[in-house]
Structure 1
Amino acid sequence: MKKIFTLSLIVCNVFCFSQIAMSSGTQTNRWTFGGGLGIGFGSNSYFNLQVSPRVGYKITEQLEGGIIGNVSWQSSNYYKSTMVGVGPFANYYFARSFFVGANLQQYFINSKEKFSGYKYNTDETALYLGGGYMQNIGNNAFIQFGIMYNVLWQDRVSIFSTGFVPSIGVVVGL
């Protein structure tokens, strides 16, 4: 049931963004907008909600730069945490279906254990490099599928369990 709910939210998100893009007609400016939405469920009443808005500017038809944000709320039977990230990104598009990119994020993390009341505050910098595939979903809107790797990630030092991050998002204005 949880998988069906998650899949239906993703599909709804894609259709909402595609309707906005189709109604806007041909875009003459160079600004792009988009982002991603993530929901996760797990054992011990684990729940995760993540929102990642982005604003970009087409420097050329193939090169885009901008700023991306990230807010994530996590909760389980044992802890509760909030993570906020912000930073610049750059994407290079080729063959109108593929992209490579870089994304520098500065994360600020606040966590609290529910039983002991112990609070943990930290920050971490991540530099993601990667790429992926884009599919046109109407006029100037695309859904992007990609994978990125945090080249600054260090095992046993990072708050993240791995350096690899899959990504799915929608961009309007390309």
Structure 2
Amino acid sequence: MKVRILLICLTALMFGSFTSHAQRYVDENSTFVERLYFGGNFGAAFSSNFTNIEVSPIVGYMITNELSAGVGVIYQYFKVDRRAANGTPYSLETNIYGGKLFGRYNFTQQLFAYSEFEALSLEVFQVSTESIVRDVVPSFFIGGGYFIPLGNRAGMTAIGLYNILYDPYTSPYNSPFVLRVGFTF
């Protein structure tokens, strides 16, 4: 059991959400281009009945040293075996795509608040017709994180988020709680 927990933790660290964007500092003389940063996420989650692989590049803008905002696109490969609300078992393998808007506020160099709205186009099981249809599913994540500097522009982040719009029958996520572990550079 301890080995299994250790393997799960190591997998989460290795295949969590890898974020890359430069750690930058701006002032009132900084140009528009100097305030931009680029990066994104790569994530993967696996279990006996669930596979989710994500790639999502972002473009961010440093409003101040404390506040930044940005946009991104999302692509996910998703496969799951579930039961609908009425107990009907189903399997689903699909491609998920969409976009996101995010904001980050740094309280200190290490502690920050984070929010993200995403809208994903994906296939969901519709109980009323007992069929699978493509629909747009919104998520709104709120939470916070911790940044550990590993040099002038690099560091490690751990972000804990809660999806306040979570619906277990349509969401591509297994839980309303999402943990992202990654690196920035």
Q: Do both share a fold (TM > 0.5)?
A: yes
Runs of 5+ consecutive residues of structure 1 not aligned to the other structure? 113-117
Give identity over the alignment, percent: 26
In 2: Cα distance, 1:10 partner to 1:37 partner: 8
The amino acid across from 1:38 in the alignment is: G
Match of residue 144 from structure 1: 157
Match of residue 115 from structure 1: none
Match of residue 67 from structure 1: 71
Q: TM-score, normalised by structure 2?
A: 0.67
Match of residue 30 from structure 1: 35
* Alpha carbons of structure 1 residues 41 and 154: separation in structure 2 relative to 1, 3 Å: closer
Deviation at 1:6, TM superposition (A): 5.0
The amino acid across from 2:113 in the alignment is: V
Residue-by-residue CA offset, 1:64-117 (whole Å, 9 max, x unaligned): 1111232110246943111113121110012201110111101111379xxxxx
1:84-163 equivalence runs, <5 A: 84-110=97-123, 119-156=132-169, 158=171, 160-163=173-176
In 1: Cα distance, 2:74 partner to 2:122 partner: 11
Q: TM-score, normalised by structure 1?
A: 0.70
Give the root-mean-square deviation of aligned CA atoms: 3.5
In 2: Cα distance, 1:147 partner to 1:87 partner: 17
Instruction: Give the conservation status (yes or no) of the 8 Å contact 2:143–2:162.
Output: yes
Deviation at 1:52, TM superposition (A): 2.3
The amino acid across from 1:128 in the alignment is: F
* Alpha carbons of structure 1 residues 30 and 144: separation in structure 2 relative to 1, 3 Å: same
